[in-house]
Amino acid sequence: MRAPSGTGRRAGILLCIVLAVTACSDPEPPGTLPDRTPSASSTSASPTPATPEEEVEAAVRAYYAELSRAAQTNDTSKLRTMTTTGCPCYRPVRVIDKNESKGRTTPDARIEIASLRIHDIEGRTALAEVKTNEGMFKVFDSSAEVIGRVPARQNHLDLSLVQTEAGRWIIGNQFNLMGDR
Q: pLDDT tens, 87-124?
A: 999 999 999 999 999 999 999 999 999 999 999 999 99
26 three-state secondary structure: coil
CA–CA distance, 43 with 34 (Å, rounded to integer): 20
- Which residue, among 125, 90, 112, 148, has the nearest Cα to 19 in the 3D structure? 125
Alpha helices in the chain (DSSP H): 8-23, 52-73, 91-101
pLDDT at 47: 65
Domain ranges within the chain, ordered by starting residue? 8-33+50-176
Against a cut of 0.95, is the pTM above it? no
Domain at 8-33+50-176, CATH class? alpha beta
Give the count of beta carbons closer than 10 Å to the beta carbon of residue 73: 14
